[in-house]
Amino acid sequence: MRFGSPALKGALTGSFDWRWVADIVFNGARVMQDVPVTAPNFRDSGSSLVQSTGECTILYQDDFARSIAPSQIGDLLAPFGTQVAVSVIVSVGDAFQERVAMGKYLIADTPSIRTNRYRFNGVTVSAGDSIDLTLKDLFLGVQQDRFDTPGSAPDLTSVWREYQRLTGLPVTRTVPDAPIPATVAYQEDKLQACYDLATVLDAVAYLTPDGTAAMRPNVWPAPVDTINSKDIDPDGGTLVDVVPTLSNEDVYNAVVVRGKAADGSQIVLAGRELTEGPLRAKNPDGSMSPFRRKPYYYSSDYITTSAQAAAYATQQLPRVSRLRSLTYEVEEIFNPLREVGDVVKVNRLGQSFTARVTDIARSGGATQKLSVVVNP
């Protein structure tokens, strides 16, 4: 969950106003601050390699009737390295105001560029710009910076040190460090190598709102917030709607960890499967179960022994067999503090559950939509 003062958290449960703004970072320097943002449409997805993306429109009117509309490489808002730091400013009348950093992005596209012009004393001047931006988080730069040739970590003593070297970004150490267990030949995709490296720490790579590279632990942390409906919390309830969904698409009842033999052929290092319950792989007599056997296959160059593979399979089986089976689509009052990975308690009349946020969709509306998975 993003940082917010107690006063801000209190304001978000009552009546408040907010506006989206952007700071423009060009060649490493902040050159524009609090530029008004309209038509915000931002998505955070924990299952994507580039997790935070969005679209918005920058409105700009210069005091001296100049335009900042990009027309070539090297222009201020051209999609060639310019960063946009997006924030939300929450206010309650004139008495309270607080800024929340939403994310730091690269400009990926400028699909629509409009400049209103007029004649003044025989000279054509700008009345203002309206520039549509497609934004993607800083992992886009890591993804585009591919390895020229296969390589490996020069130092196996620290996952975090290698993670920082690969991303080229400052890091925020959110999980304990550990040695890299094996020398791995990186292939072409540098961002995928970062995600693979994070699995050593039982975590997922992600970017914090200030643009530093961090890791989100797979083990659920303690709940950071409670979302109540109005019928049980008339004064502070922010829950609008809850829609449960059940799907077997990402549900498995077995985990198979694959590796490579000395001759390069693929072998099975370890496997685990459910032996009881409705998702059992087999019936007690050995016959096929109603759900049948549905294995989740995993391979990693960081897993080299049967003992490592067995530990991983044991760790992953409850996650792939139960965690993904029941999801909820939750709609709540707009809350800029909410992040993917947050564990929250959800309470409405007749139902309470603990869940972890996997996706967030925000626009200019009064609510935001979350996808969450329930605690197994």
Q: Which domains does the chain have, with CATH numbers?
A: 6-137 (no CATH), 143-217 (3.55.50.10), 225-247+326-374 (2.30.130), 254-318 (no CATH)
Q: pLDDT averaged over the chain?
A: 92
Q: Residues of the chain with pLDDT > 70: what percent? A: 98
Of 264 and 269, the one with more pLDDT: 269
Of 48 and 319, the one with more pLDDT: 48
Residue 345: the pLDDT is 96
| pTM tops 0.95 | no
Task: Give CA–CA dist 160/180, Å, rounded.
Answer: 9
Q: Which amino acid, 201?
A: L
Does the pLDDT of residue 322 top 80, yes or no? no
Does the pLDDT of residue 37 top 90, yes or no? yes
Residue 375: the pLDDT is 67
For residue range 121-172, list pLDDT tens digits in order: 777 778 789 999 999 999 999 999 999 888 899 999 999 999 999 999 999 9
Quick one: pLDDT band at residue 5, thresholds 50, 70, 90? Answer: very high
Residue 260: the pLDDT is 73
Residue 87: the pLDDT is 98
Angle ∠(352,355,360) on CA atoms, nearest 5 = 120
Quick one: pLDDT band at residue 300, thresholds 50, 70, 90? Answer: confident
Range with lowest mean pLDDT among 62-66, 174-178, 221-225: 62-66
Residue 184: the pLDDT is 84
Q: For residue 368, give every residue at least 6 positions away whose Cβ sits within 8 Å of its Cβ, in sequence order, or none.
A: 331, 332, 333, 334, 335, 338, 360, 361, 362
Does the pLDDT of residue 323 top 60, yes or no? no
Secondary structure letter of residue 248 according to DSSP: S
For residue range 333-351, list pLDDT tens digits in order: 999 999 999 999 999 999 9
Does the pLDDT of residue 365 top 90, yes or no? yes
Asked if 58 and 129 touch (Cβ cutoff 8 Å), the reply is yes
Q: Give the residue from 68, 65, 107, 61 showing the smallest Cα distance to 84.
A: 107
Of 366 and 302, the one with more pLDDT: 366
Does the pLDDT of residue 263 top 80, yes or no? no
Residue 120: the pLDDT is 80
Secondary structure letter of residue 287 according to DSSP: P
Q: Give the residue from 347, 358, 273, 359 showing the smallest Cα distance to 310.
A: 273
